[in-house]
């Protein structure tokens, strides 16, 4: 192969790589900018208390979430931990799994002193269901943000709280699961297979 042919092949390879890179970047940008959720939730927890439910219990569940958010904002690990049952479980979006109030409290004590120091929680609420008179499941969206910034426009995590009426009558969190939303992957899956989209996102 002569020198001119080698140069032509190199140029064609580089041009092809550039076109593919630009195409991939354009596709990613398109997916990212069209991936907003259609059901972001409501900022007021009381708005998702179901009709026919015991209003006082609904408000007590919401108060637990309010106390949780306030404790995070103060960086108060002990107050944060008190919102959980003694044997609660807590799974983070990175997959860390805490077992028991003490584990949750001490893990957050370290987080409040380091990774999330000075941050606040933002939340929206999607649904509250009571499973009998002493258990409830609350779903919503959430994120942490810096105190110097306004609340984030889009909340990047989807969260599930399972709450129970504890032995002292207080509603506490028995299990928490936090999932990071991968908006581009989600949007791609909905485009590729529209039937996979939840009803609220169609």
Residue 153 — very low, low, confident or very high, per pLDDT cuts 50/70/90?
A: confident
Dist. CA 93–CA 105, nearest whole Å: 17
Helix (H, G, I), strand (E, B) or coil at 171: strand
Closest CA to 94 of 166, 155, 157: 157
- Predicted confidence (pLDDT) per residue in 122-152, tens digit: 999 999 999 999 999 999 999 999 877 667 7
Check whether 77 has a pLDDT greater than 90.
yes
- Predicted confidence (pLDDT) per residue in 89-114, tens digit: 999 998 899 999 999 999 999 999 99
Helices of type H across 93-146 = 101-113
- Predicted confidence (pLDDT) per residue in 5-63, tens digit: 766 766 777 767 666 676 656 655 655 555 577 788 999 999 999 999 999 999 999 99
- Predicted confidence (pLDDT) per residue in 189-201, tens digit: 667 687 867 777 7
- pLDDT score recorded for residue 36: 75
- pLDDT score recorded for residue 127: 97
Check whether 4 has a pLDDT greater than 80.
no
Which strand ranges, in their side-by-side order, compose the sheet holding 97-99? Answer: 97-99, 84-91, 171-180, 157-165, 135-146, 119-130
- pLDDT score recorded for residue 201: 77
Strands 171-180 and 84-91: parallel
Number of Cβ within 10 Å of residue 81's Cβ equals 22
Dist. CA 148–CA 39, nearest whole Å: 27
First to last CA, the chain: 55
Number of Cβ within 10 Å of residue 18's Cβ equals 10
Dist. CA 88–CA 121, nearest whole Å: 20
Cβ contacts of 153 within 8 Å, gap of 6 or more: none
Asked if 91 and 104 count as a contact pair (C-beta separation under 8 A), the reply is no
Dist. CA 169–CA 133, nearest whole Å: 11
Q: Report the interhelical angle of 183-192 vs 3-33 (nearest 10°).
A: 90
- What would you report as the CA-atom Rg of the chain, rounded to the nearest whole angstrom? 23
């Amino acid at each position: 192969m002569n020198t001119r042919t080698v140069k032509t092949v190199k140029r064609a390879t580089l041009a092809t790589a550039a076109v593919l890179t630009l195409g991939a970047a354009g596709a990613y940008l398109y997916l990212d900018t069209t991936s907003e959720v259609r059901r972001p939730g409501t900022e007021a927890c009381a708005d998702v208390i179901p009709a026919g439910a015991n209003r006082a219990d609904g408000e007590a569940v919401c108060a637990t979430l309010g106390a949780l958010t306030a404790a995070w904002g103060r960086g108060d690990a002990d107050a944060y931990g008190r919102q959980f049952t003694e044997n609660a479980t807590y799974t983070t979006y990175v997959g860390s799994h805490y077992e028991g109030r003490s584990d949750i409290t001490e893990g957050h004590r370290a987080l409040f002193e380091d990774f999330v120091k000075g941050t606040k929680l933002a939340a929206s609420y999607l649904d509250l269901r009571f499973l009998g008179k002493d258990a409830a499941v609350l779903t919503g969206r959430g994120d942490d943000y810096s105190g110097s910034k306004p609340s984030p426009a889009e909340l990047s995590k989807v969260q599930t709280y399972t709450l129970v009426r504890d032995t002292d009558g207080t509603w506490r969190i028995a299990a928490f699961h936090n999932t990071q939303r991968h908006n581009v992957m989600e949007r791609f899956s909905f485009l590729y297979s529209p039937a996979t989209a939840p009803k609220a996102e169609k």
